[in-house]
Structure 1
Amino acid sequence: MKEYNFIRKGVLNCLVAAFIFFSGLQNANAKEIIISAAVSLSNAFKEIAIIYETKHPTDKILFNFGASGGLLQQIEQGAPVDIFASADEETMDQAEKKSLIVKQSRKDFAYNSLVLIVPIHSVLHIQNLDDLLQPSIQKIAVGQPKIVPAGKYAQNLLQKSQLWDKIQTKLIIGQNVRQVLNYVARDEVNVGFVYYSDAVLLSDKVKIIQDFSLNHSIRYPIALVKQKTENKNAQEFIDFVLSFEGQKILVKYGFASVPH
């Protein structure tokens, strides 16, 4: 009996050792893919990552979400990033001019539109942008134009209508588009400028009263970030985002797909 227990113990020890060995091999082969992405992509990209990781079990997706301009600054300062996904073309253009991305990897992967939203129970009647001057509208939330693409789009729109300077005292500045969305959802401001994809996430708390780019003219680009050591797995994630399955998830979260 003692001999049997000894043999059984030895077999168990071998199995445990083998498990640790193969687990170590799997961890050694695991490759992290670090993605800096516009905060408006957070819900869609998190779901895309879950499905991607099931198809690529040795890859681990790590996200850094924020305002596109802020993310660009981080990359410029040397932050370890494999992929950059911006909410506008201008920010990606800057990354390309500064040779921070692999130019040939750059692709547009989604469309979006700028919308004006109000709290779900708001009774405001806004037929055109000039209505933002009415006394009943005291707080207008926009993203910080210097770093938030949605804020930049809103500023350009209001400047063209010669309203930007006139509403300065009403502006509430958000550090990213989701902060603006939450201001409106919590009824802390009268109106806010966000992306369509953000507004549909909280359709029970906010409502869209104007859509300023019905043709989904706002493009989202994605690209590999230049690194000393190339992460070959990163391109596979970009390919998945561009695939039918990845595009289907983006559409689910309010984006329009980009034909390739």
Structure 2
Amino acid sequence: MPKVLVFILVFFINFSKAELIRIFSASDLQYALKEISKAYEKEYPQDKVELVFGSSGKGAIQIKAGAPYHIFFSADMKYVEELYREGYIVTKPKPYAVGRIVVWVRKDSGLDPSDFPKVLFDQRVKRIAIANWEHAPYGRIAKQVLERYGVFEKLKSKLVLGENIAQTASYVYSGSADVGLIALSLALAPNMKEIGNFWAIPEDKHDLILQGYGITKAGEGYQSVKRFYQFVQTPQARKIFIKYGFVLPDESK
């Protein structure tokens, strides 16, 4: 068989193996996972990664309802463990990071985020953005932080709830809120760093934010899904995670 025909045959065989990888991810990963997906597609051009971002709680509900996501990245390991116990996740839950929560303000606000929680009572602060604690892990942690500092009830009327942590960040980024309690990964994004300042809340002021992922029942059997799942654990992907503040206990920032 002529070499040209062999090349064409191989090309079409590889093209026929191209698979779409559907991923539901917690919103705190919107910058890191987009970058990781681009790196993956560069290495495996036959595959296409489709990302959907939202709150971890709502993602878990959608998966239980039959949403055809192949991989689930949660900002709270408990959602992955729950789905695993109930058979919706087929791989043993694996952590990809311990998250951090920060206080974020615009530079032009004149506010000092490190003056926490006193800054929340500044007369210039009319609205404080946090994620909805009913289904967003970072919202639950933000509420817990305010409670442990003993200020939640005093500030309740100022709270503006985002559906997920990305929407919460957009509120304070746009100026719709004056202060935001958001994920470190979003605070480290170039657009957020350019116009804002942040202060990391001490980890002893809230529960551990252990984040995890797994392959769903819908993704079982797809080689592309397994490739991406494994790619997340490579040094190349870990480097991107660390860039956005996503570290595991044995890693350094």
TM-score (norm 1): 0.83
8 Å CA contact 2:111–2:119 kept in 1: the answer is no
Q: Give the whole-Å Cα distance in 2 for the aligned partners of 1:166 and 1:174.
A: 20
Instruction: Name structure 2 gaps, 5 residues minimum.
Output: none
Q: Which has the larger radius of gyration?
A: 1
When the two structures are aligned, how many residues end up with a matched partner? 246
The Cα of 1:17 is off from its aligned counterpart by 9.7
The Cα of 1:19 is off from its aligned counterpart by 8.7
* Amino acid paired to 1:113: R
Instruction: Name structure 1 gaps, 5 residues minimum.
Output: 1-15
Aligned to 1:149: 137
Alignment partner for residue 236 of structure 1, among 210, 227, 245?
227
Q: Give the whole-Å Cα distance in 1 for the aligned partners of 2:229 and 2:219.
A: 19
Aligned to 2:197: 207
Distance 1:43 1:125, change over 3 A: closer
- Deviation per residue, 1:69-123 (Å, 9 max, x gap): 111111111011111011122322332343321242x211123201111111222
Within the alignment, does 1:51 sit opposite 2:46 as a pair?
no
SS of aligned partner of 1:183: helix
8 Å CA contact 1:36–1:64 kept in 2: the answer is yes
TM-score (norm 2): 0.85
8 Å CA contact 1:130–1:163 kept in 2: the answer is no
Distance 1:233 1:210, change over 3 A: closer
8 Å CA contact 1:29–1:58 kept in 2: the answer is yes
8 Å CA contact 1:113–1:214 kept in 2: the answer is no
SS of aligned partner of 1:227: helix
The Cα of 1:30 is off from its aligned counterpart by 1.0
Aligned-residue RMSD, C-alpha: 2.8
Alignment partner for residue 189 of structure 1, among 174, 177, 183?
177
- Identity over the aligned pairs, expressed in percent? 28
The Cα of 1:134 is off from its aligned counterpart by 4.5
Q: Give the whole-Å Cα distance in 1 for the aligned partners of 2:194 and 2:179.
A: 16
